[in-house]
Amino acid sequence: DDPERGVVDIYTPTLRLPFAGHPCVGTAWLLDVPELVTPAGVVGARLDGEFSWIEALPEWVPPRTLRQYAKAAEVDALPVPAPGEWIYAWAWEDESAGRVRARAFPGRNDGIDEDEATGAAALLLTAQLGRALNITQGRGSQILTAPQPYGWVEIGGRVLLEGPERQPGISR
């Protein structure tokens, strides 16, 4: 809405979200601004080498069910559940290293059965576990997280601009 100030609105095909981590990570990379202004609050933003980072509060995240499984293979084998409940399925790949395998099922019945990367759910999981995580989600998205002071959580990842929607004048 206002790229100079980082004012953003985030939409799925059927609703407006007050905050979503993955779109904020990408927008922070694209705009290269120190903060993004979302309906939920002001999100800190920074670029660090190949990673784009944001900082947000767990209470900004719309409700999700975090469902832990015993093994990563169980998460990989899950079928897409029936619409209704927003489920973040996860399992430790290596608990001592903070490595997690996750899949996200929004349950909105809007044509998006599974999210490739879900920073908001990763933020909730990080807040719940109280530790830094390296999450592999979907077909291979990497989401890095770390708890910060005063309840904030930092979320980061690599961003690649591609596809026919690429805007003229913007390079990789």
CATH of 10-157 given 3.30.70, 1.10.3470, 3.10.310, 1.10.10: 3.10.310
Phi, psi of 158 (to 5 degrees): -85, 150
What was the pLDDT predicted at 165? 57
Q: In this structure, how many other beta carbons lie within 10 angstroms of the beta carbon of residue 72?
A: 18
Q: Is the pLDDT of residue 171 over 50?
A: no
Summarised one tens digit per residue, pLDDT across range 91-150 is: 999 999 999 999 999 999 898 999 999 999 999 999 999 999 999 998 889 999 999 999
Question: Which DSSP letter does residue 131 get?
Answer: S
Question: pTM of this prediction?
Answer: 0.90
For residues 118 and 135, give the distance between their C-alpha atoms in angstroms, rounded to a whole number: 10
Three-state secondary-structure class, residue 28 = helix
Provide the pLDDT confidence category of residue 63 given band limits of 50, 70 and 90: confident
pLDDT tier for residue 161 given thresholds of 50, 70 and 90:
confident
Longest distance between any two alpha carbons in the chain, whole Å: 47
29-40 pLDDT tens trace: 999 999 999 999
Burial class of residue 109 in the structure, from the number of CB atoms within 10 Å of its CB (0-12 exposed, 13-18 middle, 19+ buried)? exposed
75 compared with 170, residue with greater pLDDT: 75
* 170 or 62, greater pLDDT: 62
Name beta bridge partners: 54. Answer: 45, 155
- Measured at the CA of 145, the angle between CA 87 and CA 157, to 5 degrees, comes to 95
Kindly list the domain boundaries of the chain, sorted by start residue.
10-157
